[in-house]
Amino acid sequence: MAHPVEKLTSLQNPRIKQLVKLRDRRPRDEAGVFLVEGYREIRRALEKNIKLQELYYAPDWFLGENEPALIAQAQAAGAKLFELTKDTFAKVAYRERPDGLLAVAPQWRRSLADLDRLLDGQRETGAYPGSMVPATLTPFVLVVEAIEKPGNLGTILRSADAAGCDAVIVCDPVTDIFNPNVVRASTGVLFSVPLVVEESARVLTWLRGRHIRTVATTPAAQTLYTAADLRGPLAVIMGSEQYGLSEFWLNNSDLPVRIPMAGQADSLNVAMATIITLFEAVRQRS
Amino acid sequence: MAHPVEKLTSLQNPRIKQLVKLRDRRPRDEAGVFLVEGYREIRRALEKNIKLQELYYAPDWFLGENEPALIAQAQAAGAKLFELTKDTFAKVAYRERPDGLLAVAPQWRRSLADLDRLLDGQRETGAYPGSMVPATLTPFVLVVEAIEKPGNLGTILRSADAAGCDAVIVCDPVTDIFNPNVVRASTGVLFSVPLVVEESARVLTWLRGRHIRTVATTPAAQTLYTAADLRGPLAVIMGSEQYGLSEFWLNNSDLPVRIPMAGQADSLNVAMATIITLFEAVRQRS
């Protein structure tokens, strides 16, 4: 490889200690970075032009034969490389079964103004290097409130990606979008789906300003989600796992809808309710 | 409580060792039992008249105040009680954050003949004490092939419950339906949704014998799942996580359908594809 690779063998190395700290939100936010672990996730980050700052690897953990090519690709894209011993990597790995690859990437922030530019079809410039979605005249947005479980947030991002949502807006977040479990559960969709974190009131103002209809799922609604018109500019609003929709969105959404439930009351969790609603919208909009 | 409770304090106690063994399939099958851990899951098992054989509890781990009532209910239903110390329970607990409750329940087996009786509206007698679903003239069945991840199988069972499926048939299983992670991820639906494990060829013969139409999802299909007629007697066939549908079901299903995908190719996993398809069927059938 082009540059000499620093080898880290001591568990006392400050870089090793910092990598472990980055599992927690505060050190992540202070450093403005987050962890991307695993071959698939790192490959996706590179595909989406995420500028990996550092790549830590341990050949003793490699599962396949493509790792050297990925490492070279990361280095070519500007990542500083560090080779770790088996034990040292075991210390920094977040996963139970590591595959010997762990990167540090810069966090980014998107605003509602960024979404405006996106929806208006203007190319973005600036910090976030991710892919662009096509400009759309009939926005299709997912708004999620206060999701607690990183795994659920990751699954929800995958659903939004599969359904072709233009953006996901996370209101009043409990879970950091850069939590390692979000990165993992999203299978890299975090790097491509436009994602904004913003307060509910500002989101509502923004949606109204763009004449985007808000449809919120709640078991208390009269209208079935399949009976609602989900065409046109649409924001699907989903509540939190434990408390459902907040009073704010219950009171301010244009149309509350419900999903019919045949079995026990909690068979559908928020991630499952989200995908059902999004794909009904896809059906109606196609 | 009515009977004296045996107290277990030693990690060397044979019962403690057996509980740890029951995490693995062979000892489970040999003993004909499985583990039900956690307040919610045990409560659901009791609600569905599952005859818990033993209930192990450790007050040091209790999270709420309702545990004694649940323990008394289990005892009244015939479970033998064992009180454990904090350390002993930590040894037998399967979960990372135990809540001090772990039961041993008998396994059951359902056959296609059982499903015949169920669909024909005859009340079952015999080993399985779970709830009955209403007799139906237009069966709605989910068939899953070789699901590998217990969490996916649990989620799929929840989806089938929420969609009101009459039964779930698991073909050529990789995952034991009595795996502790299936019990957990199903949130107790395992105790209520009629579930049959059977070879694919026998399942196909059974479906054809009952004139149940087979609709199989595969990315290679021409027909969109929303364009297919999902009313009438219906079996939705889902492939495995890694390999998708087998040649057998690809060749023998009445209609292959696909789910449209806007984003990256693997955004929808098998559990997500299942719930999308089942709820489209619910929409059409309502």
A76 — contact with chain B (CB < 8 Å)?
no
How wide is the angle at C-alpha B17 spanned by C-alphas B14 and B21, nearest 5°? 135
- Which pTM was predicted? 0.89
Residue B148: which pLDDT band, with cuts at 50, 70 and 90? confident
Residue ranges of domains in chain B: 6-106, 112-285
* pLDDT computed for residue A128 by the predictor: 43
What is the mean pLDDT of the segment spanning B255-271? 90
* pLDDT computed for residue A3 by the predictor: 64
**B172 pLDDT higher than 90:** no
C-alpha separations of B276 from A277, B67, B105, B159 in Å: 9, 37, 33, 9
Cβ within 8 Å, pair B266-A161: no
Residues of A in contact with B283 (CB under 8 A): 226, 280
Residues of B in contact with A283 (CB under 8 A): 226, 280
How wide is the angle at C-alpha B11 spanned by C-alphas B7 and B15, nearest 5°? 65
Q: Look at B130 and A162; give whichever has higher pLDDT.
A: A162
Looking at residue B215, its amino acid is V
Cβ within 8 Å, pair A264-B155: no
Please give, rounded to a whole number of angstroms, the shortest distance from the CA of B79 to a CA of chain A.
Answer: 25
Residues of A in contact with B156 (CB under 8 A): none
When scoring B242, B258, B276 by the number of chain A Cβ atoms within 10 A, the one with the most, hence best to mutate, is B276
B114 — contact with chain A (CB < 8 Å)?
no
* pLDDT computed for residue B11 by the predictor: 86
Tell me which residue of B143, B145, B142 sits closest to B164, measured CA to CA.
B142
Residue B208: which pLDDT band, with cuts at 50, 70 and 90? very high
Residue B3: which pLDDT band, with cuts at 50, 70 and 90? low
* pLDDT computed for residue A121 by the predictor: 76
Tell me how far apart the alpha carbons of residues B237 and B233 are, in angstroms, rounded to a whole number: 13
* pLDDT computed for residue A126 by the predictor: 42
Please give, rounded to a whole number of angstroms, the shortest distance from the CA of A23 to a CA of chain B.
Answer: 18
Percent over 70 (pLDDT), chain A? 94
pLDDT, tens digit, 9 for 90 and up, residues A178-224: 999 999 999 889 999 999 999 999 999 999 999 999 999 999 899 99
Residue B75: which pLDDT band, with cuts at 50, 70 and 90? very high
Please give, rounded to a whole number of angstroms, the shortest distance from the CA of B225 to a CA of chain A.
Answer: 10
- Which of A22-26, B116-120, B126-130, B147-151 is predicted most confidently? A22-26
Q: What is the 8-class DSSP label of residue B133?
A: P
CATH for the B6-106 domain, from 2.40.37.20, 3.40.47.10, 3.30.300.30, 3.30.1330.30: 3.30.1330.30
| Residues facing residue A257 across a β-bridge | A217, A223
For A82-96, letters b (16+ CB in 10 Å) and e give: bbbbeebbeebbbee
Tell me how far apart the alpha carbons of residues B236 and B214 are, in angstroms, rounded to a whole number: 6
Sign of the Cα torsion B22, B26, B32, B34 reads positive
Contact B157, A272 (CB under 8 A): no
Query: What is the chain A residue with the closest CA to B158?
Result: A267
Cβ within 8 Å, pair B162-A187: no
Cβ within 8 Å, pair A159-B189: no
pLDDT, tens digit, 9 for 90 and up, residues A158-170: 999 999 999 999 9
Tell me how far apart the alpha carbons of residues A167 and A192 are, in angstroms, rounded to a whole number: 10
Half-sphere exposure at residue B25, Cβ-oriented, CA atoms within 13 angstroms: 10
Which residues of chain B from 208 to 227 reach within 8 Å of chain A, CB to CB?
226
Cβ within 8 Å, pair B158-A272: yes
B261 — contact with chain A (CB < 8 Å)?
yes
Query: What is the chain A residue with the closest CA to B193?
Result: A263
For B8-38, letters b (16+ CB in 10 Å) and e give: beeeebebbeebeebeeeeebeeeebbbbbb
As a residue count, chain B comes to: 286
For A218, list phi and psi in degrees, rounded to 5: -155, 140
A280 — contact with chain B (CB < 8 Å)?
yes
A149 — contact with chain B (CB < 8 Å)?
no
Query: What is the chain B residue with the closest CA to A284?
Result: B226
Percent over 90 (pLDDT), chain A? 77
A283 — contact with chain B (CB < 8 Å)?
yes
pLDDT, tens digit, 9 for 90 and up, residues A224-280: 999 999 999 999 999 988 888 999 999 999 999 999 999 887 888 999 999 999 999
In the CATH hierarchy, which fold is given to the domain comprising B112-285?
A: Alpha/beta knot (3.40.1280)
What is the mean pLDDT of the segment spanning B177-196? 92
**B177 pLDDT higher than 90:** yes
Pinpoint the alpha helices (H) of A145-219: 150-163, 180-185, 200-209
Site of tokens 């079809």: A121
How wide is the angle at C-alpha B69 spanned by C-alphas B66 and B70, nearest 5°? 85
What is the mean pLDDT of the segment spanning A34-63? 95
Contact B71, B45 (CB under 8 A): no
Contact A236, A215 (CB under 8 A): yes
Pairing of strands A140-145, B80-84: unpaired
Q: Do the interacting molecules here have an ipTM over 0.85?
A: yes
**B72 pLDDT higher than 60:** yes
Neighbours of A275 (CB within 10 A): 26
**A135 pLDDT higher than 80:** no
* pLDDT computed for residue A23 by the predictor: 95
**A124 pLDDT higher than 80:** no
Tell me how far apart the alpha carbons of residues A173 and A242 are, in angstroms, rounded to a whole number: 14
Contact B147, B177 (CB under 8 A): no
Residues of A in contact with B164 (CB under 8 A): 262-263
What's the N-to-C CA distance of chain B in angstroms?
A: 49
Residues of B in contact with A164 (CB under 8 A): 262-263
Contact B217, B273 (CB under 8 A): yes
For A202, list phi and psi in degrees, rounded to 5: -70, -35
Six token digits for residue B234: 């219906």
Tell me which residue of A253, A263, A266 sits closest to A223, measured CA to CA.
A253
When scoring A272, A277, A280 by the number of chain B Cβ atoms within 10 A, the one with the most, hence best to mutate, is A272
* pLDDT computed for residue B136 by the predictor: 55
Nearest CB to A283: which of B159, B226, B282? B226
B282 — contact with chain A (CB < 8 Å)?
yes
Nearest CB to B264: which of A189, A276, A286? A189
A179 — contact with chain B (CB < 8 Å)?
no
| Residues facing residue A55 across a β-bridge | A81, A103
Query: What is the chain A residue with the closest CA to B226?
Result: A283
Nearest CB to A276: which of B158, B260, B275? B275
Percent over 90 (pLDDT), chain B? 77
Contacts of A212 (CB under 8 A, 6+ apart): A139, A141, A233, A234, A235
Please give, rounded to a whole number of angstroms, the shortest distance from the CA of B268 to a CA of chain A.
Answer: 7
